[in-house]
A = this chain, B = another copy of it.
Amino acid sequence: MTNATRILDQLLELAVVLQQDMSRAFEGTGLTTARTHLLWELHRMGPSTQRALAGVLQVSARNVSGLVDALEGAGYVQRQPHPGDRRAFLVTLTGRGEQVTTRMEAEHQELARQLVTGLGSERTGALEEGLAHVLQRLHGLVAEASAGGSGAG
């Protein structure tokens, strides 16, 4: 196994670990990955139509309807009439929704802080620089592949 393969394997394992940790954090909250993703975008964008949410989440309008139903039922968001377009809703975070997204943001930053604790600043700098290059390469490779390359999965 090459060093390059080992790097890629570590990155994939990292993705799995982060996902598992997130799922575990959801237990008992009524939240899931998809619902939390919507909540998170709402936190970033402010009150939005379901159409806009479907756009940023890259899912169908129908799917957003279901996610908003669930989040509304659990008290995280509310559908409010859209001023100026009676077809649409403005999905807004409730107090509970604000609370949970604000807390998620804090925990995200705390995880990031802990992540680099113990890494010297020189090493952290190298990691940042390396990751930037990895991302750049990956975007290029994926673009090539989707343009009709041989695939890389």
Contacts and interface: CB of A to CB of B under 8 A. Distances in A.
Contacts of A139: 17
A145 B17 contact: no
A12 B18 contact: yes
A90 B119 CA distance: 46
A138 B109 CA distance: 14
Size class of the contact patch on chain A? 35 or more
A152 B113 contact: no
Given A2-B109, A145-B24, A145-B25, A11 B114 contact: no
A138 to B, nearest CB: 5
Given A4-B116, A5-B108, A11-B15, 16 more contacts: A2-B112, A4-B115, A4-B124, A5-B113, A6-B128, A7-B128, A8-B111, A14-B134, A14-B135, A17-B138, A17-B142, A21-B146, A21-B152, A25-B151, A123-B130, A127-B131
* CB-based closest 9 A-B pairs: A25-B153, A127-B130, A15-B15, A126-B126, A4-B112, A8-B112, A5-B112, A111-B152, A25-B151
